[in-house]
Structure 1
């Protein structure tokens, strides 16, 4: 068995793909020596600054308690009170992959050298990720100005004050300033956003194959995807989407004219609707990669000039707006999938029985797929509502704005599951049409996808429970997304 190469955390170059790989796989992690040195220098700088001037969260309380002077009691006593008071422990438990992603992001941010936390916390996070230790973390209390409650729970696990969900590391001691330096981050929200974005990106990629199979089942027209058409309005996403469909359908020169002079919108407008979703995901990934590499702690410790800066980098409006845009774009894409499903059920488009029934007169066939699809589409529509229209005023009016980015990230994760269901229902119907018509797709790329489906999707034509079909189709969609991400051809 080969041991994977260690992923090196340097505080500068963490990508969304890196986060997914470490969060979902057994990838060892180590901190670059220069990053550890930067964290150590920031800790020394913070200590020197705190002895010369008031520093929020180090020599003062937090929130509306910003003017209260702290420091009495034993070393780290105020910090322990701060962690305990903020670790509310409310809400559902976070999945281990989300917690691991959050720990990696927080480790990378600390390695950027702006927090002033004691370097032992950097080492402790590195050890936890290397050994597979996962804290118990509840999902509650974040509104987009820092994941205070969730990160406080992780810090309490690292300091030995709460039990771990899996494994453990040797407890580290708290020093003045460590509590806020650890909590001042949106790492948990970013973790969920990265994982949800990765899932949506894979589903959007697989949607090209699903649409291509529906195109074959409906005998679509190639004109809507022609390069000459998309060169006239060259938005990157729509150009890329049309090119992928051409690759899947006609990479060997098969340009059949199609049954109709022009197709319904589900086929004809696919690149124009799918393209904005691809572009939105690209912008979101770029935004997230800025965030996961940011030294955004408040206050920021400047090791170059020795200064301390109190600021508002904790605000995540960029991420919230980007997540809102992605969900809206994906909802449009899912609507087209539902439209294609309706076309696949219609004898006028397929020449087959209504609802693709193959049994006695009055058989329902795949009628229920439309109900499943519109249930999932309704859920997706509710999840697509913008979170950025709300705000809050808390802490005696001192904190008077919030982006609600955590809610946007949760809704985005929920959207991925709903979108998968919509695509899976369309795929089941497309395969049924191709089987009933006896017209397997030609061409190496799409034929390989269809062969995968033919082997994994039950071929039961009389009325039956279609849940197994939908689950198998969803699994195939996930396989295609992972293989495309890994650069593996069908």
Structure 2
């Protein structure tokens, strides 16, 4: 059981979403929420407060009668629950709920404490509202997607419950849950914020870190397979550049390879008299996809760390409108719901993840093309050349998936379209950015899964299981449990690729030391 005290860290997020740790709200936090509600209720008497006694958006010029204030909030929720397209998976919805809950717990939203209680119960019971990918423009926050969460909180709409899509009233009856009753401005407070894009974004950062760790592992293993010289990973070479990410990637690869007997020292082979040599039979330097891994993955790591920092700041921010300030006894109107911070970071993240998929695809091509590696058969075919096909088929999948990533990497951040009668005249498209980044990450798991299978095939062909590093051997053993040697019996590859993809996706992440790239 984790106690929420008003600030979520990435470790808390990981435990709650991926380890299904239950949550409890700290009593001081509950008091803060109650004080915020009580203050706003009293402060809003005889004042014009947006979303309490006015319409919404460009309709804010219309004053709402006191007798219609509560109906206004219900109307807002129901009218904006208008998403379409694919369903957002339950894990990502739970992340959005957690992000929204944490924001409301800051005490700047003026919601009734019943909202906190019900959201906590839904998270703990893994009851997740049905939310669609399409709908949010990310500038009065995730209005449409969050409205679907709010719809469930008032006892309407649909949820995912024990793997089934069910009507909310049925599930509430089973679990003995009571819908919230709108007390003041709960409708606006629930839907006016960046919590969906932020929740999805935080899962994206965690999954991207898993990808990076596997990309490092695959890159180190290929250096072993081709018996590369190790000085491109040396402390001295990489320390001569100031970038922290590059240095960390190089160190992680050195640690990975420390007990390998396959990588070579340049001074043992090339740093001696060679006056009688005209042409060197072996490569003096490897291709860039092997030699420049620290320089390629270093920016990925640095970007990932910064994305995570920004998203943790966002999830711990008040991101609706207006903002209730109990301490100064005031209510401030502005635009904290605007999702530009998240949108920009998601665009950065999908670019660097796409670059990882490109690196994986090039390394894969290197292994499959005998004219490049000079040590493996075409397509790492362990069967009869011409009769069997080895890894030929899956290369098409990796290539097409990488190409899709390249297309999806175009930014959403600069694709603003005015709407809402031009009230929202410049928007973030942050929800779209987070969802597209999610797709790019899912694609990259597929490409790296194909590369990992191919690496294991290459180790099988070269019979170097007893020479590779212990970390590469662990990868070899893990993949081999899922995929047998593909030799003289061709068979459908998609079950193997999906199996390895799921294995990588569900692999453990040493979250406590995440910034060090475990």
1:185 aligns with 2:193: yes
C-alpha contact 1:79 1:175 (8 A) present in aligned 2: no
Q: 1:379 aligns to what?
A: 404
- Does 2:473 correspond to 1:447? yes
**Contact 1:20–1:101 (Cα < 8 Å) also in 2:** no
> Cα distance, 1:425 vs. partner?
1.7
Note closer, same or farther for the CA distance 1:158–1:390 as it changes in structure 2 (3 Å cut).
same
Which of 338, 342, 345 is the equivalent residue of 2:365?
342
> C-alpha separation between the residues in 1 aligned to 2:128 and 2:505?
26
CA, structure 1 residues 172+199, in 2 after alignment: closer, same or farther (shift >3 Å)? same
User: 2:151 maps to what in 1?
Assistant: 156
Q: TM-score normalised to the size of structure 1?
A: 0.93
Name the counterpart of 2:451: 426
Identify if the C-alpha distance between structure 1 residues 333 and 129 changes in structure 2 by more than 3 Å, giving closer, same or farther: closer
- Tell me the distance in 1 between the aligned counterparts of 2:26 and 2:98: 13
The residue that corresponds to 1:30 in the other structure is: 24
Which residue pairs with 1:232 in the alignment?
Answer: 240
Relative to 1, partners in 2 of residues 1:314 and 1:83: Cα closer, same or farther, differing over 3 Å?
Answer: same
1:357 matched to 2:352? The reply is: no
> 1:327 offset after TM fit, Å?
1.3
| Structure 2: tracts of 5 or more residues without a match | 162-170, 267-281
Q: 1:275 to 1:49 in 2, by over 3 A?
A: same
Cα distance in 2 for residues equivalent to 1:155 and 1:360? 60
Listed as ranges, the gaps of 5+ residues in structure 1 are 1-5
Shift, 1:410, TM fit? 0.7
Paired residue secondary structure (2:134): coil
Output aligned runs, 1:142-291, within 5 Å.
142-145=136-139, 146-166=141-161, 167-168=171-172, 169-251=177-259, 256-257=264-265, 260-291=283-314
Alignment partner, residue 465 of structure 1: 492
**Which 10-residue stretch deviates more, 198-207 or 334-343?**
334-343
Aligned partners of 1:75 and 1:175 also within 8 Å: no
- Report Cα offsets for 1:339-359 as digits up to 9, x if no partner: 111211222414232222233
Instruction: Give 2:505's aligned residue.
Output: 478
CA distance in 1 between counterparts of 2:17 and 2:120 reads 13
Shift of 1:254: 7.0
For 1:9, the equivalent position in structure 2 comes to 4
Output the CA distance in 2 between the equivalents of 1:221 and 1:472: 33
SS of residue paired to 1:308: strand
Query: After the TM superposition, which parts of structure 1 deviate over 6 Å for at least 4 consecutive aligned residues?
Result: 486-490
Q: Is the 8 A contact 2:452 2:479 kept in 1?
A: no
Give the whole-Å Cα distance in 2 for the aligned partners of 1:112 and 1:483: 29
Could you tell me how far 1:16 is from its partner in structure 2? 3.0
Contact persistence 1:16–1:288 (CA under 8 A): no
Q: Distance in 1 between matches of 2:511 and 2:156?
A: 40
Moved more, 254-263 or 439-448: 254-263
Which residue number in structure 1 is paired with residue 277 of structure 2?
none
| Secondary structure of residue in 2 paired with 1:431 | helix
Q: Distance in 2 between matches of 1:163 and 1:457?
A: 39
Query: Which residue of structure 2 aligns with residue 332 of structure 1?
Result: 355
**Could you tell me whether the CA contact under 8 Å between 2:101 and 2:116 is conserved in 1?**
yes
For the 8 Å contact 1:338–1:373, the answer to whether it is kept is: yes
The answer on whether the counterparts of 1:213 and 1:427 sit within 8 Å (CA) in structure 2 is no
Match of 2:273 in 1: none
Give the match's secondary structure for 2:104: helix
Separation in structure 2 between the aligned mates of residue 283 and residue 181 of structure 1, nearest angstrom: 28
Distance, in Å, in 2 between the alignment partners of 1:478 and 1:398 is 41
* Aligned residue number for residue 272 of structure 2: none
After superposing the two structures, state which structure 1 stretch, 131-140 or 418-427, moved more.
Answer: 131-140
CA distance in 1, matches of 2:404, 2:338: 28
Q: Secondary structure at the match of 1:8?
A: strand
1:456 aligns with 2:451: no
Which of 44, 50, 53 is 1:50 aligned to? 44
**Contact 2:197 2:342 survives alignment (8 Å):** no
Q: Distance in 2 between matches of 1:316 and 1:66?
A: 21
Structure 1 residue 163: Cα displacement = 4.5
User: Which SS does the other structure have where 1:132 is aligned?
Assistant: coil
Q: Is the 8 Å Cα contact of residues 39 and 113 (structure 1) preserved in structure 2?
A: yes
In the alignment, which residue of structure 1 is the partner of 2:424? Answer: 399
**C-alpha deviations, 1:424-473, integer Å up to 9, x for none?**
22222221111111112433332222222333321121233332442343
Instruction: Tell me, yes or no, if the aligned pair for 1:235 and 1:275 is still in contact at 8 Å.
Output: yes
Contact 2:53 2:69 in 1 (8 A): no
Corresponding residue pairs, total: 483
SS of the equivalent of 1:66 reads helix
Distance across 2 between alignment mates of 1:353 and 1:139: 44
In structure 2, the CA distance between the partners of 1:296 and 1:35, relative to structure 1 (3 Å rule), is same
Q: Is the 8 A contact 2:77 2:151 kept in 1?
A: yes
SS of aligned partner of 1:73: helix
Q: CA deviation at 1:253?
A: 8.2
TM-aligned CA distance change 1:476 to 1:296, over 3 Å: closer
Deviation string, structure 1 residues 39-61 (Cα, Å, up to 9, x no partner)? 11111121122114211111111
Question: Contact 2:137–2:430 (CA<8 Å) still a contact in 1?
Answer: yes
CA contact (8 A) 1:30 1:130 kept: no
Q: After TM superposition, give the deviation of residue 252 of structure 1 in Å.
A: 6.8
Distance 1:305 1:352, change over 3 A: closer
TM-score (normalised: structure 2): 0.88
